Structure 1
């Protein structure tokens, strides 16, 4: 029997900058800092052609009030002609075009017209089990557990108002990340325990030979490279990048050191009015 696809499939997982998912207390302290200061860490970059890129570093568990302040800021940018490029990692049992632009509105339309077969469900389940084998944890369950421990809400496109045709999904789907990982390291081995242990079981442990997997390329490196390529190829003159703080930090370095962009040291987000000029002091 067929079921609606994205109830299971399209969970907007914003994983990489939420460092506490995979790392220790120092990363958690960093997460708490960014949760209170997301707008204070916004960076504006420009190049000689007049292109403007604003980096909005996100933390993926915060309060609704904090996300509301970011949403208001993004609304002002969009009113001033910006589009947003935002991350959202999900698993799909079918190929997704990662070369063209897919807005949030188009993602929702895809959701509404796509059905999930039993075979599709198995394919999605396999992707999440490979993801757990690579990372040592089910990131969806990890987010839910962190939210319960710390309070707050998990970041979503709806909370940030990233629901219009000006909000463009720029990320790899999970199946592409797994494919890139397997191209680099070979097939992800799934054994009987990988299938027998529930995905949300907190007692799951990696086998000895897989204790130190390469999580950087899987969660950050490949996605950073893809985001940078999309930015360089885009014809939009004004782009606000809404991505995890770990991504935007790397992107700031790459844009300013290798792609002709200059950091506007005077720019401050969250001031009155809209547009890039109103953010300057």
Structure 2
């Protein structure tokens, strides 16, 4: 989990290189209002669901010694033991899918990152929804 902004060039904790051209997203920039619902899991709920499915996350001394913006090196055992894709994509997509199944409103829109959209697309299509592209 990266609790820092993607818009920082000097953030070595990110697992990829950034050119610093990303914009820190705010509700206002996304057009989100107080009438909208939050359709994502907060970090505490993600951890709870992850641990229920995969077992307790055990922090090491290295975890406590490594700063939030410092490069973090996973050991081979940690790479095998912990599955960030499961937490960051699968659990969240399942939650969004469940909201779609249970939410009763004639129009539903979701703000979803372009790089993450395709992980959710098949689930929503299989529930009978179709994609409508609109220029904003």
1:215 maps onto 2:78 in alignment: no
- Alignment of structure 1 residues 102-181 onto 2, 5 Å: 131=1, 139-141=2-4, 143-146=6-9, 149-165=19-35, 167-181=36-50
> CA-to-partner distance for each residue in 1:256-281, whole Å, 9 max, x for gaps?
23x233x36xx55228xxxxxxxxxx
Q: Post-superposition, which runs of at least 4 consecutive aligned residues in structure 1 deviate over 4 A?
A: none
Count of matched residue positions in the alignment of Structure 1 and Structure 2: 128
- The alpha carbon displacement at 1:252 in A equals 2.8
The question of whether the paired residues in 2 share the 8 Å contact of 1:177 and 1:222 is answered with yes
**Relative to structure 1, is the Cα distance of residues 189 and 200 closer, same or farther in structure 2, using a 3 angstrom cutoff?**
same
Q: Which residues of structure 1 form unaligned runs of 5+?
A: 1-130, 132-138, 272-281
Higher relative contact order (CA 8 A, sep 6+): 1
* Higher fraction of helix: 1
How far apart are the structure 2 equivalents of 1:162 and 1:168? 9
The question of whether the paired residues in 2 share the 8 Å contact of 1:181 and 1:218 is answered with yes
> CA-to-partner distance for each residue in 1:45-69, whole Å, 9 max, x for gaps?
xxxxxxxxxxxxxxxxxxxxxxxxx
TM-score (norm 2): 0.77
The corresponding residue for 1:260 is 128
Larger radius of gyration: 1
The question of whether the paired residues in 2 share the 8 Å contact of 1:157 and 1:163 is answered with yes
SS at match of 1:242: coil
The question of whether the paired residues in 2 share the 8 Å contact of 1:177 and 1:218 is answered with yes
